[in-house]
Chain A
């Protein structure tokens, strides 16, 4: 138990440092903490799944975050902010991971491998997309309208559902739905061009 408290207080402190002073080192440390916690949670989650529990995509991430912020010293007003930050971090973690896989498979960048060997993530049930391409497209989308990209980060990279996303962004659920549709359509078009 003591360990958890330590972790949680660590992340809160980092978070404050980051939000108050734009401390990039705090960001790095935060990234690490989230990553470790995510990994731990993911492991548990998969074990449970195997044991026959139902699959809940958002549960994993929520649980990881909640574990980290569940303590009295956390001001609840910062929750949204926290999720927003966490979504960005999550995108970075996942894209970095995809990149590392990409490098691995491509022989450290020495040789070009056939396209099908590049890392793909099943971003839909029937089509696989390169997560790195998605990341790039998302960056372009953010230039057009940042909120759309933010919603994708929260929903796709962080696994939040519509109400949660709405809460984090302080917008209505219908706005989230509308923006989500636009973002999906636009990104899908980018990736299938």
Chain B
């Protein structure tokens, strides 16, 4: 019936449409007859057609394509523009968005100003911009924000600038008024910046509060020199056009000079006028010429005198001379202006100034409210008052998380930008410490932490022995980087590349600065002989100071007079006189604790502090050098380490490892109980204390991991999980619908995977997780309805095997005696086991138990175990097993601990276990071949390290025949993953100094790189196949090392 009606409506509508307008109504009425609803229907459609004249006439694709492109030009965290890694957007303005980024070549923070595409319509425009920037780049002045580079990618052009932390003057002026004293101080700095630029014939043309950044220390940086001119040229210099456009692109009207408004030729004096308007606002708290409309403002600039009653009398002449309409009467150069300002600063009494305007103060407030613009069109760097994240305490494993917290943790839009700032920026921030209620003696509530330098770890690198130079500008440390031997490096605190001080092939460590920072003393181990050497601090030939010989050697202190070096040798402290080369023993302990005593000299060089192990516990001890009588400073079961004497001589800072986290503590020589200083998650590794004791330097490293995916056919790489937490170790359900992975909010992953959560997501709609629960190392069962995982049992200190029904959320503990946890590498953290340990019917599983280290099978229903490895050999160790896809066989590995470890493959079939293969290469099971008759394994000649190796692909038949199929060069052995159908392999390999995901046929042939990682310090690992074998998911991991300081330690 409905159809019939529809056809009638259509017919009448179509015919009516072809009628002349004047006859149409009549026609419709006739055609519909008495059917009123039909009439209404047709009439409304005809009316609709009349109104819909332009409706859908512009194709959606034309509309949306533009939007899509605009979107694609927004950059997000982790994206690269050439070698700049975006950290986050920090501002937006007329010219484009401003991002904070890390220069991954020079390891410094930079600001990127992405230029709106419409500013750079053609090549000439780009060339002009480049020329302009080249001129600005020549400016080298403490009050001018430096331009480093103009760069472009395929899609955009951008200016790379010095990153300055602070607030713009615009922000400052909206928040509070400045004192005359402060205003003058800032004005002098701005005038000096102008003087420098004018001396080089560069005019700013857009001096205004938003273009002035003031750092927390009150230092001024003037932004965007020369850009105004560029843009003006681009906009063909039509002043009127600019004025009429809302949110004027350039030249904010209230700060423009009369000649600028009139479109006349400009010289340096236009900047003087703008400066005057700016200085006026700083002093008066209101704008000199601002009126309600632009037209009135322009008129005021051209004709009116500012209201001088707001200006202190002594400052009035300078302002008058800056703000005069006739440019010939203005200051000729910013140089003269700066001189006048400086003279005034010296002569003036600011108390007098304050009194000078006091009569007007009431009026001033009212005037402010009237004339202060309600909102600024342009803002820049946000001030750094964001609080640092104090990560939530990790719940015990048996503590169920509530639904609400799950939601919050996973919504990417809710992740506060503050967290991102904590993770990734060097923004100076307040540190808020949580304190135990008992700890009320200290007050570190507002320790201000400033990130000095941060960098991504290079491949297989270690860092340690940080020492800050006496002038506080350099940091020396020892490190293994990029596969080089351990060496001494120096990093300048103004973000820079590491300088490798020692360029030899020896192992060098424990650097100590000379009192004048010109030299670094360190230990060098040469042909197993250790010695103390010295080298110029920025590199040069190392000279031996003293050859010591064998044993553990560390340099500890260089005395303030430069005459002696204290060093630790096999747990004793010795003093080396540099003039005579004589050595004096300060302590005479018979034995050394395993990790040494970590001696540190008191500021007066009369006492020492050290770590010692006595009465079965490790404590801090102090000792006057003269008496030689040690005094116990701490007395507890915690492990104290790396004590550093504070400059006041009364306190000692040290580290304690607690719950896998390293925290900073403070001990007192007067007998008070020690205090905990830091409480965040992660390692606060104490590095050094400044000579005046106000700055405490520490280093911190954090791992981060995201899960991405790559489509093999198209090569498209996408993000699957990239929350603020680390996500890793994906596993796709056999039916291809769901994915499970591990999520961890700890900054350092390696020891803390026991605190991970599991997250299950739908692959069709990956935006929000289906659920999460506490657990580690998740794997799907063959039925796609359950995930098996490990969960840390805190009381028993072992892992148990658990199962969760992913539809109902019902959990079940499968084991009682504990399972052996899988080992994993570092960066990328690849898991060593391969899963595949469930029978195809998902009823039974096979595992390696944690106590007896046997291979057991058990069923979901009963906890009764069957031991497959009742093999009586004490020195044998088994490795996680795999179940064949037909459910008939179980394969596992063993290693016999002898001088040349023997690796064997075992097969359990029809209740019998037999050894089918043995050899000397280390093995890792990958899975059964597609036919189900053969096992695929990874094999390495020596130890299967977590760093890239040459890995053999070994195929062993059930009968024990083995064949090496291929050798994969430089791959992470633990990353090799067989696809569900047993036909393909995925792995991560490091070639040309970069990690990438590769695939190959299970035969070892057709090796193919499927990602193109652009960063040598972002590591790829743990590939996981989609069920259809068309997508490979993988982990992207990096480690960020930072050195920070508490800058107000009291």
Contacts and interface: CB of A to CB of B under 8 A. Distances in A.
Interface of A: 10, 25, 29, 32-33, 36, 38-39, 42-43, 45-46, 50-51, 55, 57-58, 60-61, 90, 94, 97-98, 101, 103-104, 107-108, 110, 121-127, 131, 144-145, 152, 155-159, 178, 181-182, 184-189, 192
A38 B65 contact: yes
Contacts of B69: 39, 42-43, 46
B836 to A, nearest CB: 25
A131 B56 CA distance: 11
B629 to A, nearest CB: 65
B56 A189 contact: no
B874 interface: no
Interface of B: 6, 10, 13-14, 17, 44-46, 48-49, 51-69, 72, 117-118, 121-122, 155, 411-414, 711, 713-714, 716, 767-768, 1028, 1030
Given A33-B714, A108-B413, A152 B56 contact: yes
Contact of A187 (B56, B59, B711): B56
Given A108-B413, A144-B6, A58 B59 contact: yes
B198 to A, nearest CB: 36
A184 B768 contact: no
Given A51-B121, A188-B51, A57 B711 contact: no
Given A10-B713, A29-B714, A124 B62 contact: no
Nearest to A47: B117
B68 A50 contact: no
B65 A60 contact: yes
A178 to B, nearest CB: 6
Contact of B48 (A94, A98, A192): A192
Contacts of B117: 50
A98 B55 CA distance: 18
A60 B122 contact: no
A103 to B, nearest CB: 7
Question: Which of B6, B57, B122 gathers the greatest number of chain A CB atoms within 10 Å?
Answer: B57
Contact of B56 (A33, A45, A94, A156): A156
A121 B6 CA distance: 29
Contacts of B155: 43
A158 B64 CA distance: 11
Nearest to B44: A189
Contacts of B45: 182, 185-186, 189
Contacts of B44: 189
A10 B711 CA distance: 14
Contacts of A152: 56
A107 B56 contact: no
Given A131-B60, A156-B59, A182-B14, A188 B52 contact: yes
A51 B68 contact: no
Contact of B411 (A57, A108, A123): A108
B49 A184 contact: yes
Contacts of A127: 55
A32 B718 CA distance: 12
A192 B324 CA distance: 59
Given A124-B52, A127-B55, A181-B17, A157 B713 contact: no
Given A33-B714, A123-B58, A188-B52, 14 more contacts: A36-B716, A46-B66, A51-B122, A58-B59, A61-B59, A104-B413, A110-B413, A124-B55, A124-B58, A125-B57, A131-B60, A155-B56, A156-B60, A182-B10
A184 B52 contact: yes
Given A108-B767, A184-B52, A125 B60 contact: no
B767 A126 contact: no
A156 B57 CA distance: 7
A51 B713 CA distance: 35
Contacts of A94: 60-61, 64
Contacts of B66: 42, 46
- Give me the 7 closest cross-chain CB pairs, A-B, nearest first: A159-B59, A42-B65, A188-B52, A185-B49, A189-B48, A124-B55, A124-B54
A159 B206 CA distance: 44
B49 A188 contact: yes
Contacts of A187: 52, 55-56
B65 A45 contact: yes
Question: Which of B59, B118, B1030 gathers the greatest number of chain A CB atoms within 10 Å?
Answer: B59
Given A29-B714, A39-B68, A188-B52, A107 B413 contact: yes
Contacts of A38: 61, 65
A50 B121 contact: yes
A121 B63 contact: yes
Contact of B61 (A29, A61, A110, A192): A61
